Amino acid sequence: MNSDHIDVRQHILDTAKPIILGKGFSAVGLNEILTAADVPKGSFYHYFKSKEAFGEALLENYFSNYCGRLDSLFSTQDTTAAERMLTYWSSWLETQSCDDRDGQCLTVKLAAEVSDLSEAMRATLVRGTQQLLARIALCLSEGAADGSLPPFANAEQTALHLYELWLGATLLTKIRRDRSALESAMQSTQLILKIN
């Protein structure tokens, strides 16, 4: 039936996410995922054309959830844009600094590994990060409009600056296993946004 179809498929994706967040893409076998999801190995190719297509779906699912949450945060109009912006980076800091799998960033985990491996997955990453950047830039513009943030010469450029900063900080956090890199990024962010 069609609803089971989607349920099982989604169940595989949900089960796989924390596993892949831990071990990466290549190092994880279908076996491990499917055993964990309690889905027989033979079924996998009914729901996904290949491991690569599955990885693509995983990323698509991730970005669509992520953008959804971002939209609901950024669309609350009873706060200033500066507050929304800070809430966003704060939650980034919290989710990426704790050990809790599942909340962690698939972009940081997979980008380097997967971009040279699969054109399809790379394309999904391009689209996803682009959507993210557009939302950040929009929030910056709203901040300039409502006066809670300084007027930026180029909101896109500032958004990119911030996003690169936090990507790098998250990468360093994976290396360091402590909050220092992300806390430094937060300080830099407040400087960039001219918030004290």
Partner DNA sequence: AGCAACTAGACGACTGGTCTAATAAAGGAT
Partner DNA sequence: ATCCTTTATTAGACCAGTCGTCTAGTTGCT
Q: Which of 6, 27, 36, 145 binds a second copy (CB under 8 A)?
A: 27
**Nearest distance from C-beta of residue 118 to a second copy, angstroms:** 11
Residue 141 CA to residue 57 CA, distance in Å, equals 32
Phi, psi dihedrals of residue 126, rounded to the nearest 5°: -60, -50
Question: Shortest approach of DNA to residue 8 CB, angstroms?
Answer: 5
Task: Name the residue among 59, 55, 60, 91 with its Cα closest to residue 73.
Answer: 91
Residue pointed to by tokens 């169940």:
11
Nearer Cβ to DNA (39/185): 39
Question: Total residues at the site for DNA (CB under 7 A)?
Answer: 22
Decide which of a second copy, DNA, none touches 93; Cβ closer than 5 to 8 Å per partner kind: none
Give the shortest CB-33-to-DNA separation in angstroms.
8
Using the rule CB under 7 A, give the single segment among 29-37, 148-156, 165-173, 175-183 that binds DNA.
29-37
Helix (H) or strand (E) holding 105: none
Separation in Å, CA 144 to CA 80, 109, 189, 195: 10, 33, 16, 13
Number of residues this chain uses to bind a second copy (CB under 8 A): 39
Based on its alpha-carbon atoms, the radius of gyration of the chain, rounded to whole angstroms, reads: 18
Amino acid at 178: D
Q: Which stretch binds DNA (CB under 7 A): 37-45, 71-79, 108-116, 174-182?
A: 37-45
Collect all residues with Cβ–Cβ distance below 8 Å to 96 and sequence separation of at least 6. Answer: 103, 104, 105, 108, 170, 173, 182
Partner from a second copy, DNA, none binding residue 80, C-beta < 5-8 Å depending on class: none
Q: Which residues bind a second copy (CB under 8 A)?
A: 22-24, 26-27, 108-113, 115-117, 122, 125-126, 129, 157, 160-161, 163-169, 171-172, 174-177, 181, 184-185, 187-188
Q: Which residues contact DNA by CB under 7 A?
A: 1-2, 4-5, 8, 28-32, 39-47, 50-52
